[in-house]
Structure 1
Amino acid sequence: MLEHGQCLEIEAGAVDHGQRLDTWLASKIDDCSRTRIQDLIREGRVLAGGKPPSKPRDAVVAGMTYTITLPEPEPTDIEGQDIPLAVLYEDHDLIVINKPPGLVVHPAPGHADGTLVNALLYHCEDLQGVGGELRPGIVHRLDKDTSGVMVVAKHQSALDALASQFQDRLTHKVYVAVVVGVPHPAAGRIETEIGRSRHDRKKMSTDTVCGRHAVSNYQVIEVLDRFSIVQLQIETGRTHQIRVQMAHIGHPVAGDLVYGGSHSKIWKDRGGCPRQMLHSQSLSFIHPSTHQRVEFSAPLPDDMVAFIRSL
């Protein structure tokens, strides 16, 4: 994830040579669309070997180092709001929460307030500015309709320590999902590339020109008629990773109207799902002060339990 004011350098390899620059860069930077990359190129914030490329469609050159810089954000005042937080653990370094479904993590177009960040700023008044104005304390994210465990840093050194663990894959993340059908075999490993869809830039896909490696390990823990409950441990943290990869093997997450495809009718026949049935069950990491590994877990939320009982 590229934050405001951050400078990122990416060296193109032999396999990257000849690819379209804006598409290639968008595939390399999480949560940065091709349109955003095009704007950055036109603003002169992308350099190829120290010189600005002429156009977004320029070809990538193997061995070339590309530098991308996001401008500092415009001054903004994100206010704390008295939104209830389910706190699993808190100390002077961090806070671990059980995010409810339906809560957006940080302000964005269409969600100016009422977000997790607004709730955190009310709860932790000195959090403002930690890691950036727009996403104070945010180390990782969950989709709006995904519930479960999240960790938030309360000061910059804790944020840096936690962020490096996510980047270096030192965290251990376990999810529970209700999926359509029963995966076969009952336990397996999914390895794909994930990048922006070639057909819909708002979606992620395994069918991509230049995606990023993604790995998920799954195990079926209960079969429920035409659905099953699956536990997943993800080794990487790509955007929509579980949702995309389960759809890729033909077993999309129940209630996922983005990646569910023709399977949508199945859960509509069952009375529908209130959301995608995906929950961050546990998160383990090394505490930035004690340097001991800690683990936190959150029970399934009521709406997910109710859906399972209805099957």
Structure 2
Amino acid sequence: MSDTTDEIFDEQPHETGDTESTGLYEHLNIKVDKNQEPLRIDKYLHIFRQNSTRNKISQTCRAGNVVVNGTPVKQNYRVKPGDEISVLLTTPPRENLIIPQDLPISIVYEDDDLLVVDKAAGMVVHPGHGNYDGTLVNALAYHFEKNGQKSDLDRVGLVHRIDKDTSGLLVIAKNEYALSYLAKQFFDRKTKRLYWAFVWGNIADDEGTIRGNIGRHLKNRMQMAVFPDGSLGKHAVTHYKVLERFRYVTWVECKLETGRTHQIRAHFKYIGHTLFNDERYEGNQILKGVNLPKYKQFIKNVFEVLPRHALHAHTLGFTHPVTKEEMYFESPMPQDMQAAVEKWRNYTAD
């Protein structure tokens, strides 16, 4: 949600700022007041966002995330009346105490600036209401502590998140500069991400695009909904390609042009192809197929081998914040989804 506010500072005339927050980073648009005296931009932003340290703002500038009148600037730039400032700030850590816990996690890459994790389904990414421990962040805190590494962020540098029951790849930053640099790539949609999903029904086209604003469902607050007229929610676009058809279920590859909460889940429900076994979106019912006992038993068996919604973050690509190397990772299909594929292949072969 964005809002427009007039903020008054002890030493400054008022400025107008638009703020958009995703929970992991905050996008600010600031128009500098006509009476503003010349002031270093790191000090100016520190006053504007007092919950951000000067070091955090300095690293944000280094990462190219502070833009004045369309041009990235360094921390010693002096703001002038009428300047238009755009800032992408990572949000402050939450107040939850992060307790290091020795939990199994799969780290597929690690260096001094970041690591990439292949998250198992069922693991919550970050502590929150109802999940105060046992999360990926608790496991990472233990990993850093065990290896004598220092993470200067309580939330261990989360750049993006995936749902508890979604498996697959996540990148985690180890320092403020890496966090700012990676956050900018996600915000600018320059990362390379593909998801695998199993959805109910036989999708008509081999490739397609789903467009429609996504926002909180008006009646069921646990779900996100699509508002195609744009009256509510945020702009969202999902591209898909069919990989394999199983008569009553389709395996699709999804490329996100935007990164909204539950985007794949909400978009496919909107077009009538809810994710297989997605309990929150009623995909844990038999939505397609024949009304025969043998078929019902078959679906029950598939639900048992795949006891969660069928979504996997298959690939992740980004530019390394320090080396500027193009990094690319692939996660193989997890065992539960593979078991479901084998059952469907056997079923459709009969």
- Residue aligning to 2:236: 214
The Cα shift of 1:202 comes to 2.3
- Residue aligning to 2:187: 167
Q: Deviations 1:50-93 (Å, cap 9, x if unpaired)?
A: 9xxxxxxxxxxxxxxxxxxxx97785431111111111111111
The Cα shift of 1:191 comes to 1.1
The Cα shift of 1:185 comes to 1.3
Q: Do the aligned partners of 1:247 and 1:260 also contact (CA within 8 Å) in 2?
A: no
Q: 1:285 to 1:110 in 2, by over 3 A?
A: same
* Paired residue secondary structure (1:159): helix
User: What is the aligned length?
Assistant: 252
Letter in 2 for 1:103: M
**Unaligned residue ranges in structure 1 (runs of 5+):** 3-7, 12-24, 33-49, 51-70
Q: 1:115 to 1:74 in 2, by over 3 A?
A: closer
Percent identity at matched positions? 41
Q: Deviations 1:119-166 (Å, cap 9, x if unpaired)?
A: 000111345442xx3x22111001000000110001111011001110
Q: Within 2, Cα distance between the matches of 1:85 and 1:168?
A: 29
> What is the TM-score of this pair, normalised by structure 1?
0.74
Aligned-pair Cα RMSD in Å: 2.8
Letter in 2 for 1:251: H
The Cα shift of 1:250 comes to 0.8
> What is the TM-score of this pair, normalised by structure 2?
0.66
* Paired residue secondary structure (1:120): helix
- Residue aligning to 2:309: 276
- Residue aligning to 2:165: 145
Question: Does 2:294 align with 1:260?
Answer: no
Structure of higher RCO (CA pairs closer than 8 Å, 6+ residues apart): 1
The 5 Å alignment of 1:1-311 reads 10=4, 29-30=21-22, 76-125=96-145, 126-130=149-153, 133=154, 135-207=155-227, 209-260=231-282, 264-266=285-287, 269=297, 270-271=299-300, 272=303, 273-311=306-344
Bigger Rg, structure 1 or 2: 2
The Cα shift of 1:198 comes to 1.2
Q: Within 1, Cα distance between the matches of 2:266 and 2:170?
A: 21
Q: Which has the higher strand share?
A: 2
Letter in 1 for 2:248: R
Which stretch of structure 1 is more off in the superposition, 111-120 or 203-212?
203-212
Q: Deviations 1:246-298 (Å, cap 9, x if unpaired)?
A: 1111111101111236x722497511240000000001111101112211110
